[in-house]
Amino acid sequence: MTPHPSAAAADLLARVRREMGEESLSAPALAALQTLDAVPLPSRTATAEFALASVASVVLAAGLDPASIDPRRVAVAYRSDRYLRVDGAPPPVWAPLSGFWESADGWIRTHGNYPHHARALRRALGLTDAAGPEAVARRVAALSSDAAVGRISEAGGLAVAVRREDPDVDQALRSTPLLDVATIEAADARRRERRSPSPGASARLPLAGLRVLDLTRVIAGPVCTRTLALLGADVLRLDPPQLPELPSQHLDTGHGKRTARLDARSPELHALLESADAIVLGYRPAALDRLGLSPDALVEQHPGLVVAQLSAWGTDHPDRAGFDSLVQAESGIAMIEGDDGRPGALPAQALDHSSGYLLAAALTRLLRSRDGHSRIVRTSLRRVAAELLALPRTTDVVRTPEVDASAHLARFDVDGVPVVTAAPALPGLTFDAPHTWGSDAPRW
């Protein structure tokens, strides 16, 4: 018999709800969750329980039925990159220079999916632009982990040393809220009335009529805003004109949004903010500060705005960029999930997906209960990792068969190109098609 979700998932969900200002998990909701099979995401850490709690947090915040959650669909959604097809072909998930590399005294993890990060990695190691994985492996093997990471980081690349977990660091992180919600100030009555959900908002689309600006990239932030669009919000994603996105990456998480390119320093951005209800930020905190887009600056200029800030390492590390794979490596997760001294990985980019759903849950709750106050909600991939590391784990991973995803896929035509993606993890809802990245005008 497939095991039911552990008490750890229910405990985590109850605490998340308390941090969002909701009542603790009700007996009917708990009973409904206990009827569900486990999410098929096998790992030593409690990835399955964390995934269920994260998705259930949005389901409850939106007023949907938690008994309708399909654990297999949750697993497919968390592994969406495995099922993406563009014109019948699977785009590559990882670039050749993204991965684990053995150093002279351990391991490092690099992220080179974006061309500018791959160029910086090669430059740091004294390699030509055509150098491949074999050349990188040779250069890293001759360096200590700290030396290799230092060179790559100084050159503008992304790398971390693969480390074992540090319980003291994780305990300190867990002393802070998983979802840190701050109330800032009251807006005037005119803005309060204008920012209410539209009269046409339904029980299934509770965010209808609300406007959300999306300044995020990669997975976590786009999963959050994709979920808000699924719940009826008008989501407009904005990207810097000089920083192209990986097209397939956007197709995997761009459902239901419009997507435009706009310089963040332009007056048009603040004009959009004047009639926005929320903004989701996914860039480095220091970069946002330099652009005048820190959460504090935004709520001062735009009273009544709800601001969500997601970062890789937290606001204590404002200049540090990162991705799910790097946080797994440095936090100790990679060594827990590895074998025979070699690092491994979670069965999905679960820090990204869980962060996205948790942030979407907080925003859904805040937007549904508007009272005219500005609010800021923050979380980070590293804070989410600390939470995962606190949950019960196992030493024996039961490898379950790959989920039959055929009933859990969505099919679209995007500018004449057939696209297949994972279907929504939220029950009873259907994605609208993603748009081609950057193909819309920057306006509501």
Residue 363 scores a pLDDT above 60: yes
Q: pLDDT tens, 275-284?
A: 999 999 999 9
So what's the pLDDT on residue 27?
Answer: 84
Which token pair is 237?
Answer: 């994603």
The DSSP secondary structure of 16-29, one letter per residue, reads HHHHTTPPPPPHHH
Are 391 and 46 in contact by the 8 Å Cβ rule? The answer is yes
- pLDDT, position 189: 42
> Residue 201: pLDDT band by 50, 70, 90 thresholds?
low
Over 90: is that where the pLDDT of 365 sits? Answer: yes
Distance CA 101, CA 108 (A): 5
Q: What is the rounded average pLDDT of the residues 424-434?
A: 97
pLDDT at 196 over 60: no
* pLDDT grade for 1, boundaries at 50, 70 and 90: very low
Across all residues in the chain, what is the average pLDDT? 92
Contacts of 101 (CB under 8 A, 6+ apart): 107, 108, 109, 110, 136, 137, 140, 141, 148
**What percentage of the chain reaches a pLDDT higher than 70?**
94
Hey, what amino acid is at 4?
Answer: H
Q: Considering only CA atoms, which of 362, 358, 348 is closest in space to residue 422?
A: 348
**Does residue 121 carry a pLDDT above 90?**
yes
The string of DSSP letters for 295-308 reads HHHHHHHSTT-EEE
Reported for 244-251, long-range contacts at CB under 8 A and 24+ positions apart, including other chains, are 245/217, 245/437, 245/438, 246/113, 246/114, 247/86, 247/436, 247/437, 248/84, 248/86, 248/91, 249/218, 249/219, 250/222, 250/434, 250/437, 251/84, 251/86, 251/414, 251/419, 251/421, 251/434, 251/437
- Confidence (pLDDT) at 436: 96
Rounded distance, CA 37 to CA 45, Å? 18
**Domain 178-321+345-392 coded CATH 3.30.460.80:** no
Mean pLDDT of all residues in 95-113: 97
Separation between Cα atoms, residue 105 and residue 144, nearest integer Å: 5
Query: Domain locations in the chain?
Result: 99-166+322-337, 178-321+345-392
**Mean pLDDT calculated for residue range 355-381:** 95
Across the range 10-38, mean pLDDT stands at: 85
Q: Is the pLDDT of residue 266 over 50?
A: yes
Q: Can you tell me the distance from the alpha carbon of 285 to that of 409, in angstroms, rounded to the nearest whole number?
A: 35
Residue 185's nearest CA partner among 106, 345, 271, 298 is: 298
pLDDT tens digit sequence for 309-352: 999 999 999 999 999 999 999 999 999 999 999 999 999 999 99
Predicted pLDDT at 190: 40
What is the Cα 277 distance to its own chain's centre?
20
Q: What pLDDT digit, counting tens, does each position of 36-90 carry?
A: 889 999 999 999 999 999 999 999 999 999 999 999 999 999 999 999 999 999 9
Which structure tokens are listed for 355? Answer: 């962060």
The helix (H) or strand (E) run that includes residue 183 is: strand 180-186
Q: Please give the radius of gyration of the chain, using alpha carbons only, rounded to the nearest integer.
A: 21
Q: Does 385 score more than 70 pLDDT?
A: yes
pLDDT of residue 198: 59
Provide the pairing of β-strand 258-261 with 234-239.
Answer: parallel
pLDDT-based confidence at residue 400 (cuts at 50, 70, 90): confident
